[in-house]
Amino acid sequence: METIVLVIHLILAVTLVATVLMQRSEGGGLGMGGGGGMGLMSVRGTANLLTRATGILAAGFMATSIILAIMSGNTGEQRSILDQPAGTSAPAETGQESPETPGAPSVPLSK
């Protein structure tokens, strides 16, 4: 599921960049061809279409960003050291067998 949302997110990102780059800074939108409206759409209609497409793509991009953030946060595991109660860690093994009972404090032996 996370992979599907990530692929959709990447497609939206690339499409959003392309849509923004097609717009003119003056708001003309795809006005690089000239000709005064001889194309399929007028300059104003193209600007409205690109503005709407940018808004829709941006909303989809934000939605998939939030969904991915929520999905990555739900691991269910507690990984912090502070979440474990004190004394639950296992003692380090020294490689020597101790005659004492497990958990009893050990005293260093002098030689």
Report how far apart, in Å, the C-alpha atoms of 4 and of each of 38, 54, 102 are: 41, 22, 51
Domain count, the chain: 1
Tell me how many degrees the CA angle 56-60-65 measures, rounded to the nearest 5.
150
pLDDT at 59: 96
Residue 7 located in a structural domain: yes
Residue 106 located in a structural domain: no
Radius of gyration of the chain (CA): 31
CA atoms of 92 and 94, how far apart (whole Å): 6
pLDDT at 90: 59
pTM, rounded to two decimals: 0.53
Residue 82 located in a structural domain: no
Domain that includes residue 12, residue range: 2-32+42-74
For 29-75, write each residue's pLDDT tens digit. Answer: 555 555 454 455 566 666 788 889 999 999 999 999 999 999 888 66
Residue 16 located in a structural domain: yes
Residue 80 located in a structural domain: no
Tell me how many degrees the CA angle 45-54-7 measures, rounded to the nearest 5.
135
CA atoms of 63 and 16, how far apart (whole Å): 14
Residue 108 located in a structural domain: no
Residue 109 located in a structural domain: no
